[in-house]
């Protein structure tokens, strides 16, 4: 079920949202639901082909169009072009969703500086670049929201993905710092920490398996809710935080994982 079906159809009317990594997976679901709920949306990704496909699927599912622009969030010049494109098309962004990420499995003892930088430059520097490029207009207008896709309890580490864990821990810290600095100027900043969501990107890049069903086989037994998450679970949380219903929520890292981070034994309560 699309996440937008839980909400009033005009909930986000008047909002201008930018979703990085919006061509697939969680980013696509968030963008689609924002469009369905009345927001003007620009999706960004490095792949023009993926963006074109996403635009078509969003139009088919919602009856409304979005716009897209190829953008490498690691490059400040690309982010500048993104800001100019959004402003010319819809006006200044009122919402930014920092979803673009790079990740892959690598044991810490084999981690090279190149591998480390590859993840931090996209996840951490990319989040900084996009936010820094778009938030000044929000501060000038006295309203806006930054939503970062993060990690649950990043201080506990992320074995096998220490580069991603380091990046996400830093993003959680940025979320708190930005929320404090900008809260009095009308800009809220929050994070969403997704649990196991079997997207093709996660299956291929993190688990080395192109079939999400095989990659996540048996994982639901380790989740108290006894099911895997969906992109729609995450997008519903994003809509809530970005809507007027979340207007007094800032500086939070909302964990959406069916209880996975509780580390409850699989047979507990059975």
Domains annotated on the chain, with CATH: 3-194+229-255 (3.40.50.720), 196-225 (no CATH)
Mean pLDDT value of segment 35-50:
97
Q: Which residues does residue 16 pair with via DSSP β-bridges, in sequence order? A: 40
With a pLDDT cut of 90, the percent of the chain lying above it is: 79
pTM (two decimals): 0.92
3-class secondary structure, 194: strand
Closest by CA position to 42, among listed 10, 74, 79, 77? 79
Picking from 101, 34, 21, the residue whose alpha carbon sits closest to that of residue 61 is 34
Q: Which of 193, 182, 147, 130 is nearest to 31 (CA)?
A: 147
- Which token pair is 48? 């023009």
Residue 204 has pLDDT above 80, yes or no: no
Of residues 198 and 210, which shows the higher confidence score? 198
pLDDT of residue 157: 83
Residue 196 has pLDDT above 60, yes or no: yes
Distance in angstroms between the alpha carbons of the first and the last residue of the chain: 28
Lowest mean pLDDT among 238-242, 249-253, 259-263: 259-263
Instruction: Give yes or no for residue 33 having a pLDDT over 70.
Output: yes
């Amino acid at each position: 079920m699309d996440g937008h079906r839980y909400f009033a159809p005009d909930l986000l009317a008047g909002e201008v949202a930018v979703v990085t990594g919006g061509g697939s997976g969680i980013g696509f679901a968030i963008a689609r639901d924002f469009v369905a709920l009345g927001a003007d949306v620009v999706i960004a990704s490095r792949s023009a082909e993926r963006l074109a496909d996403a635009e078509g699927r969003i139009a088919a599912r919602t009856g409304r169009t979005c716009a897209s622009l190829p953008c490498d969030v690691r490059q400040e010049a690309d982010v500048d072009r993104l800001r100019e494109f959004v402003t010319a098309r819809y006006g200044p962004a009122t919402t930014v969703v920092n979803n673009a990420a790079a990740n892959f499995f690598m044991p810490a003892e084999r981690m090279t500086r190149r591998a480390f930088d590859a993840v931090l430059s996209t996840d951490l520097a990319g989040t900084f670049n996009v936010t820094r490029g778009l938030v000044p207009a929000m501060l000038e207008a006295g309203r806006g929201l930054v939503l970062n896709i993060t990690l649950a309890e990043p201080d506990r580490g992320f074995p096998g993905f220490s580069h991603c864990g380091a990046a996400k821990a830093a993003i959680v810290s940025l979320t708190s710092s930005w929320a404090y600095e900008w809260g009095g100027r009308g800009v809220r900043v929050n994070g969403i920490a997704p649990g196991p969501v079997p997207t093709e990107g996660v299956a291929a890049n993190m688990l080395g398996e192109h079939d999400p069903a095989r990659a996540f086989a048996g994982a639901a037994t380790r989740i108290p809710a006894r099911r895997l998450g969906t992109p729609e679970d995450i997008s519903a949380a994003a809509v809530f935080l970005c809507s007027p219903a979340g207007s007094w929520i800032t500086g939070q890292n909302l964990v959406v994982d069916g209880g996975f981070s509780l580390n409850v034994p699989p047979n507990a309560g059975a």
